[in-house]
Each structure stands twice: as C-alpha cells, then as structure tokens.
Amino acid sequence: MLLPYILGLYSQAPRTLDRQYTSMLGPTAFLLVLAVGGRAGACGVFQFQCANANSACLDISSKCDGENNCGDGSDELPCKVPFTNLQIGDQVDVVIQHVKRNRGLRFLLCGGGECNMITVLGVDADATLSYYAYSGCKQWGLPCLKEEGENFPPTAQELPTREVTFRAALNATTLSLWPRGYPGRAVSVPSVGVSGRNLGQLRVRPLVWFSDPIVVFRKVSPSCDRYFCLAVFEPVCATFRGLLRTFGNDCELRRYICASGEGWVKVSDSHCPYGDPATPTDDQKN
C-alpha cells in the first residue's frame, strides 16, 4: 500500500523519500533487496549496475538523477525526458503509458536551468491526487529549494500499469495539473521560478527510472471547458480591447478571451450563445 509509506516518511526531505521507496512493496521485497544487492551480477530488484560489469550495484533512484554516480556517466544515459513548450493560456493533455514499478510521475516546468515540480504518487477513488510540489528544483527534479504543497489522501492508490491522462494548464502565475475530466481536483505549482524567470517547458519523467517514459502531449484548443465554467466567478467573453459579454457554457476558438477566476483563454466571436455577440474593435474587423 502506498499510504502507510507516505504517512511515515513525508515529513522528511524529498531526496530521502525517493531513496526509500522500496518499502512501498512491503517487507518481503525490501528484504529481497537487502539480501541480493551489492555485487556485480547480483543486483537487487531496486538496483542497477553501471556499464562497467565489475562495478557495484547502485540504488535505482541514482539512475537519471542528474548526477554521475557511476563515474563513467552510464547511469545518466540515455535518460531522455519527453517535453513540450507551453505559452501562457495553453492547455495540454499529457497521455502517459505508466508502469507501476516506476512509482509515480514527475511533472517539471522548466526554464533557464531551473524547474518547479509536481510529483504525483497516486490517486484515490474521487480523483484526488496524492502528490507533493516544490519550486527551485534541478532539471531532473531534486534537490529543490521550497515546498509548495502536498496532499496524501489516506485512501489513495498507486498509479496502475496502464495509460493515464492528465491535463496541464499554464497561466501567468501557476501550472495547474489534474486527472483529465476532474478539473476540480487540480493541484498547482508556480509558473515563475525562484529566480523570477517565467518557466514554460513541461517535462514528464518517472519518479523511479525503471523504464523510459512513453508520453504523448496533445494540445487542447483553448476553450471554456469545465475547468473554467465551474470557476467561482461567472466567465465573460471579451475582445482583446476589453469589450465584455457574458456567456453560458460553450465557446469556440478564435480571437476573443474567456476570463474566469482561474485564468484566460482565447475564444471565438461566435462564442456567447446566451448573450449578445462580443463586438470586435475597428482594428480587429479585418
């Protein structure tokens, strides 16, 4: 079970947590690791061997962590992290072929050598995420400078071995992330780095690098989906020059913007089915 592990260890630093994930599988697997690790050719379930066949076994959390633990760099090869570049207002579906033994997913919003991070460990029956978030992280995730949030629901389960889909939305202040279809379960991390730099590259990697990540990014046409229409404030349609009109639950993509308590997205000028169409300014009629 995931949660006994979480509740017992999450008062510690994230690096410590990542290196103690073996207890997730219970005492049998943990003893197996202790029994068979430490020699070339006899690496444990949660260990790997460097390219040098005579090297000792290393903890799997050392693989693809941005540090040359093997000396020959083989623990950092190839370590290809899928990514997509986002602009403010973008939404993207992140479709991941998840493998359970990878123990979770890291979503990193990066730029200029720094990242802010949401690590998803699991989810409960009502789509509430078990996660922790940090800012001021390295490009592989750890170490980080500042905690931004965490939640460990007592009924959460580890992410299964199957396709999982999250939606990510970037605005001027935050990157929000939620299981697709459950915008009310969004978690977030700042979209500005500790240096003050705007971050815009979304990277996705496994928490524990047992297997290379298989990730597809699908840009979502900016529209007033449930994430916006269920916001506290009634959304409005507007031209970029500020002419406002209210609308119901539907809008289409073009050159207007939909505003809510959560952010802004572009919508079309056919857009306001329950109110008068928004009127473009003179410079937009062409």
% of the chain residues with pLDDT over 90:
37
pTM of the model as a whole = 0.65
3-class DSSP state of 184: helix
**Mean pLDDT of the 57-67 span:** 76
Report yes or no: 6 and 152 within 8 Å, Cβ to Cβ.
yes
Report yes or no: 115 and 137 within 8 Å, Cβ to Cβ.
yes
Residue 266 has pLDDT above 50, yes or no: no
Q: What angle do CA 92, 123, 115 make, to 5 degrees?
A: 50
- Is the pLDDT higher at 121 or at 264? 121
Residue 79 φ/ψ, nearest 5 degrees: 50, 50
How does DSSP classify residue 277? Answer: P
- Is the pLDDT higher at 233 or at 120? 120
Which range of 58-62, 194-198, 251-255 scores highest in mean pLDDT? It is: 194-198
**Mean pLDDT of the 109-129 span:** 95
Going by C-beta distance under 8 Å and a sequence separation of 6 or more, which residues neighbour residue 186? 169, 176, 177, 178, 227
Mean pLDDT of the chain: 70
Task: Report in angstroms the alpha-carbon separations of 130 from 37, 170, 179, 194, 241.
Answer: 30, 21, 11, 24, 41
Domain 83-220 has CATH 2.60.120.200: yes
Domain boundaries, the chain: 2-76, 83-220, 226-284
State the pLDDT confidence band at 201, using cuts at 50, 70 and 90: very high
Report yes or no: 185 and 178 within 8 Å, Cβ to Cβ.
yes
**Mean pLDDT of the 240-254 span:** 40
How does pLDDT run across 158-167, given as a tens digit for each residue? 999 999 999 9
